[in-house]
Amino acid sequence: MKKFLFLLAILVSVPVFADDEVVTLDGMTEPQWQDFAPPAFVDVQEPKGLGKLNETASYWYQRKTDFESSIKECRDMEDSDAKFSCYQEVKVKQYQKNSEYNAKIEAQEMAGRGPQEMYDRTDTMLPIGNYLNNFTRFQPNELH
């Protein structure tokens, strides 16, 4: 029984060490997927069944596979300078994709909220709106 528990403990701990391994080459670290993905999608798996309807999971899975293939291409390079520039290029592309994704999400949120005028407190479409705007500008000594 003790041997079984010992082997089980060893087998459980091996994947933990493999996931935390960071490849370094002359002070250069390899980009990691968790640096670019939201925490919920770091370990994203291929959506199957009804999960294929989840566009967000599909998007992050596709990005993860593209990222991993790019990293593999960089690893296969022999020259360390070329490898370094390849890693930098992967980082730049991922940051650009994150910026584009965030802009897309923000645009969708703005579209779902409706026109900005609905949320503007200084709206003058209503007659009372202009009165309230002017009222806040009065000084206490101006009110008689």
pLDDT at 125: 52
pLDDT at 12 over 60: no
Separation of alpha carbons 46 and 63, rounded Å: 11
pLDDT at 126 over 80: no
Separation of alpha carbons 73 and 66, rounded Å: 11
Identify the weakest region by mean pLDDT among 18-22, 65-69, 123-127: 18-22
SS3 string, 11-32, reads HHHHHHHHHCCCCEECCEECCC
Residue bearing the bigger pLDDT, 6 or 26: 26
DSSP letter for each residue of 101-136? HHHHHHHHHHHHH--GGGG-TT--SSHHHHHHHHHT
Which tokens go with 81? 């300078």
Residue bearing the bigger pLDDT, 131 or 49: 49
pLDDT at 134: 54
Mention every residue, 6+ apart, whose C-beta is less than 8 A from residue 95.
36
Percent of the chain past pLDDT 90, that is, above it, reads 44
Which tokens go with 27? 């002070």
Q: What separation in angstroms does the CA of 108 have from each of 39, 104, 113?
A: 21, 6, 9
